[in-house]
Every structure is written in C-alpha cells, then in structure tokens.
A = this chain, B = another copy of it.
C-alpha cells in the first residue's frame, strides 16, 4: 500500500498496540489534527478525577496533616517517571520546580564539582532558556561559554551534535557540556552514551535536557551512563501547562554534587530546622522546597499511563509515525519547495519533524485557522509537527499532512494574516 493512500494510515492504526490509549484522553473536537503534542500534550480523562479527589479528599479533609504523606511526593513521582520513561532506577529522579530551575541547579552543581575548569559548552540550536541561563551562569562566575554554531550546515547536519562535531571544542578546561537529547526545532537526537563517554574522558560532566524527548523515545539513562538530566512533563508527558518538571542525578555522583539553591527540603534533619545546613543523602539532597501537590498528581496520572503503555512501544510508534511523516513529505511537500530539517534515520530523531519554508509563520497560522490542524511555528522558519504516541492516531497525522499539502499547494494560506499573539 502507498503512504499517500489514507488506508495506509488506517492500517497502521489497526495494528497499533497503543491505539486504545487515545480514548483515555479528552478529545473535544474529533475533527482536529493535533500535531503539537510535543509542545502541550492532551489531557488524560483520569486527570480531572485525580485532581478533584486530591482537592476534596485530601487538602480539604486532611488539612495540614496531609503533609505526613505529601511531604516526600517528589520522590515516588520521580521514581515513576524514571522507571516509565528514563530507564532510571529508583532514588535518582525528583519531580519538582521548572525545567529552567532544575537546569540551573544541575549545571551549576556540575560546574562547582569541577573547580578550576572555566569552560562551558552548548550549542546555538539549544532551547533559549538553556542558553540564557548558561549566559547568566558564565557572567556570574567568570566562565567561558562556548556555543557550537550547529545552525551552520557546514558544522552540523540538522543541528545534530555528534562526537565528531563536539570533539574540537573539548579540552581539560571543560567543566560542563550541555545539550538537548532531542533538538527542539530540528528534532535531531544525540547519542547519550557516546557523548557522555566522550566528555567524561576529558573530565567534564554532561547535563542533558530531555524536554523534547521524555515520553517519546527510550533514553536508558542508567544503562547509557548518564550523570545528569532534566526535562519537563507537559509535552509528551501530558501533565498539563506548567506542570512540575523533573531532574535526574545518577546515584554514582549524588554524593559529590551540591546544588546552588540549598533549600530546606535538602536538609538531612529537615524539621529540626537547625542552624547548620547538612545535605540530605540521596536524591532529596537535590530538592529545594515544598512540592506542588496538585501538579504532582497530574504528573502521576499521566506517567502511570505511560508506564502502562510501555516506553518501548511508545518509542516504536514515534519512529513509525515520523517515518510516515517523512514519506508523506517526500511524496507531497518536497515538490512544493518545503525542506525537511529532521534526520531520516529514526535512531537520530524523536517524535517530531521540522519542515522549513520561508512562509512558515503564515502557514502555521493558516493551518490553525483554515485547516483545523495544530502545528507550531519556531523562529525563524520551522513548522514542527509531532506524533504523540498515546493520544495521536496515525490517521490524524495523515489527515494533517493532507491538509497541509492542500493549504500550501493551493496558496490559500496567503489569505491569512500572521500573529496576534506573542506566543508561537
């Protein structure tokens, strides 16, 4: 069967072991093609019940005594997330704060653990919050921030950082290398093990940002020897807008790291409230403050679904779904002058692809307004389209691409004015 036949996608759905999960999400408009689950995931049906039950049966009823069981909730929720998505054994993951705060914490902990070294390395295509935070760290501590210009195709293909790309920048002055597991724009995936080993060989540490990877691919952080990783929960994690993020610190190095914000949740004898800070052993030594319990329950609900589905099948659907996108791109979109900026090797990508066109911003607005397809636009010229393995069907992706083809081929997107929102 040809990928350009809609039956192709229907057949994939028929054989999809994850197909039944779609019914576990609220789908308000069945005609929408929601291809932006890599930005904000859909809401699980179970979330409303979990939150309402927490509010009425716990907060309102237990009042302050609820802290007896809420207090350490960042840890079991972290263990659930680690086991379901990260390949992380227990005691290494906390669900807490935002990706940005966790990123700052682990980057600076890594830098302080390599005293005397003055170089931080990241890449130009990295997500802005990571780049801006590193800039702030470098300014505060007089460090040198080296930015690999992987937006230059002469330096990297599809922004992808490989050991070959990274090698020329490494030296014994490097304290920290920090990269996205999957690039937010191009969708290119780096090799966690190869790069971690390479940086470790020069004595540096790597902080991985897995925001665009978690819930879409297998990361095997323990098996790959990762030291430090952060990410969010509201993309493929389906935990809701601004839900708490997470951090991973390998047991191997928990003892040697000290985060810069040493809050009271990291205090060994927390409720003695004594005069001297003594870092708690284990992963609690990396927690700052009171966990947001409503958010925790949203994360728990969504990642329980991921655990039930199994990350291996999820990763497989990401690969098959993005392959279908690329095949449809070749058949329909390449002839229209659209470029593909995502690797064709499924091991080198995740759950989204990036299509580049000079009118990308206008096309994205038109997709929403005319075609009932939700993509997102990323400056300067990318259309991002994703398959989120649990809530998205193959035919939803197929229909979205069909509508995109029609919109661009007909030129109808040019009727639409851009913008109106500061969010893209």
- Residues of A participating in the B interface, judged by any CB pair closer than 8 Å: 26, 28-29, 32, 34, 36, 39-40, 42-43, 47-48, 51-52, 55-56, 59-61, 63-68, 70-71, 97-101, 104, 112, 124, 127-129, 131-133, 135-137, 140, 147, 232, 234, 240-244, 258-267, 270-275, 277, 288-296, 298, 368, 374, 376, 378-379, 421-424
Complex: chain B residue closest to A232, CB-CB: B290
Contact A56 B48 (CB under 8 A): yes
Contact A240 B294 (CB under 8 A): yes
Contact A48 B55 (CB under 8 A): yes
Contact B261 A67 (CB under 8 A): no
Contact B55 A36 (CB under 8 A): no
Given contacts A100-B288, A293-B242, contact A261 B136 (CB under 8 A): yes
- Our pick among B71, B147, B262 for the contact of A136 (Cβ within 8 Å) is B262
- Which residues of B have CB within 8 Å of A137? 260
Contact B51 A242 (CB under 8 A): no
Q: How far is the CA of A40 from the CA of B64 in the complex (A)?
A: 5
- Which residues of B have CB within 8 Å of A97? 97-98, 101
Contact B422 A270 (CB under 8 A): yes
Q: How far is the CA of A346 from the CA of B147 in the complex (A)?
A: 57
> Which residue, A60, A112, A368, has most C-beta atoms of chain B within 10 A?
A60
Contact A56 B26 (CB under 8 A): yes
Q: How far is the CA of A274 from the CA of B379 in the complex (A)?
A: 9
Contact A294 B298 (CB under 8 A): yes
**Nearest CB of chain B from residue A60's CB, rounded to whole Å:** 4
How many copies of the chain does the oligomer comprise?
Answer: 2
Q: How far is the CA of A244 from the CA of B293 in the complex (A)?
A: 11
9 closest A-B pairs by beta carbon, nearest first, are A242-B292, A129-B264, A100-B289, A136-B262, A98-B289, A26-B60, A100-B263, A43-B60, A68-B421
> Which residue, A40, A132, A140, A266, has most C-beta atoms of chain B within 10 A?
A132
Q: How far is the CA of A176 from the CA of B294 in the complex (A)?
A: 35
Q: How far is the CA of A112 from the CA of B141 in the complex (A)?
A: 12
Q: How far is the CA of A368 from the CA of B66 in the complex (A)?
A: 13
> Which residue, A131, A137, A265, A298, has most C-beta atoms of chain B within 10 A?
A131
**Nearest CB of chain B from residue A239's CB, rounded to whole Å:** 10
Can you spell out 25 A-B residue pairs with CB atoms less than 8 angstroms apart? Answer: A26-B56, A26-B61, A28-B60, A40-B64, A40-B66, A40-B67, A47-B55, A51-B55, A63-B374, A68-B423, A97-B101, A99-B289, A128-B270, A128-B273, A132-B262, A132-B267, A132-B277, A135-B262, A140-B260, A232-B290, A234-B290, A271-B423, A271-B424, A292-B295, A294-B298
Q: How far is the CA of A66 from the CA of B41 in the complex (A)?
A: 12
- Which residues of B have CB within 8 Å of A29? 61
Contact B51 A64 (CB under 8 A): no
Given contacts A28-B61, A63-B36, A240-B294, contact A262 B133 (CB under 8 A): yes
Given contacts A100-B261, A128-B273, contact A241 B43 (CB under 8 A): no
Complex: chain B residue closest to A28, CB-CB: B61
Contact B67 A43 (CB under 8 A): no
